[in-house]
Structures are given as structure tokens and as C-alpha cells.
Amino acid sequence: MSILDRIITDKKIEVAQRKSLFPSSYWEASPLFERESNSLATRLRSSTSGIIAEHKRRSPSRQNINSSLSVNEVAIGYENAGVCGMSVLTDGKYFGGSLDDLVLARSVTDFPLLRKEFIVDEYQLIEAKAHGADLILLIAAVLTREEIQQLSTVAQSLGLEVLLEVHNLKELEKSIMPSLDMLGVNNRNLKTFEVSLETSRKLAEKIPSEFVKVSESGISEISAIQDLKNYGYEGFLVGENFMKTDSPGQAAEDFIKKLKA
């Protein structure tokens, strides 16, 4: 069983447990549930940098990235740096995150927040909305076309944008549908964990122009973004490159200044 298979198995158990404790109606009564979402897609289209910064404490491949900083501090730093939005890892077991991180980031910022999670159930979309998210991530590798269609349609009905993540052409071809806002190409091979920007380059022309193109993983150099912009990418998810520093916000600000220069 791969690490991704283990994560999904555990996630389904976790969601079932959360459902038994907190029914959907509980989250629908949240003050944040009626909040109007901010559009990340719109920001990416008008941005000169396209940076989506991430808050991530750890990962299965790296046990400790940065656990010393508060999510509030990171979120404020990113917003002041001028990033387009922030990705917040909410998985606890494998990434050290939580839905509380999303609420804390929302309490101190106005920019778009992505709930980065392994979404397997509509219940998680309601949770995302109730905790201040503006958009959600769907991962094609763990969902059927029918599940992608169902989850993306429900997400948009809740006012949430949808970023669909693919790793290869097969996943992309099964995923293209009107209920998506952004198509993200993850440059990390899920089997070997090797990262190659060639994945984004190869899939670029296969992504219809109506979707915002986002490149994910392995974005650590200015030259990488400059290159990928030539392939039509408008969004760039930067995770560990900022979080592994003592000041992710300052690192993001310096990176954006260099990119614009």
C-alpha cells in the first residue's frame, strides 16, 4: 500500500468519525458559513507573480519543515508580502495541520485561503466553508470522474472555488469539466516522489484556456516561474521553500521582489 493509499484509508475513517460527532448542520450554523468567498482565480489572472504560498508544518517525506511559527504569524507575513493566496494544510496525522489553522489564518487575513486536504466526502466541503476557506483542492489521483464532478459541483454551489490537481495526462483527461476553476499540475511523482517541472511543461497545452493553470511542487527558483509562464501558467504553489525559513513572509516578499525585478 502506497503512502497515498494509507492517507486516503485513514481519511475516510477520520471523516466518518467527525460526521458522527458534528453533523453538517452544526457547521452550517457557523458565522463563517455565510461569508462571501474571495476568488483566487481572479487574483492569479491579474497578478504579475502568481504566487500561492503554503503553511505546512511537516509531510510524510519530511518530518519537520517548521513547527515553531504560529499560523497567524505566517498568514500575516504572506499577505503583507503580496502573495495571491495561502494554502493551509488541514490534515493532522501526516502533515500536522488542522481546521483550527484555517480559522486562525482567516481571523487575521482577507486574501483567498485554500483548504489543502484529501477531500473524499461532501462533508469536508461544508467544513471548509465553515472554517473560512475560499477554495478547496480535489486530487484526481484518488477520485473517479463521477466523484470529481459531484464534489466540484457541490463546492461551487457553496461558493467555493475548485483547484483540481493532476499528475499525468490520464488524470487530466478524466478530470476536465465545467465545474472546475483552476487546474493544477503537481510536478511530484506520487510513486517515486521525484520532482520534475517537465510534467507541467508536457501537460500545459492539454489544459483548456478557460481554466487557470497552476504549477505545484518544485517551485523554488525564479527561473522556474519565468519558464513556466511561457507555457501559460498563472499560478505557482510554493510550499517548503518559504516554510523552511525562520520568516516565511519575509522569504516570500524577497522572492516576489526578485521575480518582479
Q: Which residues are catalytic?
A: 54, 56, 116, 165, 186, 216-217
Q: Is 50 left (phi over 0), alpha (psi -120 to 50) or beta?
A: left
Q: Residue count of the chain, please give it.
A: 261
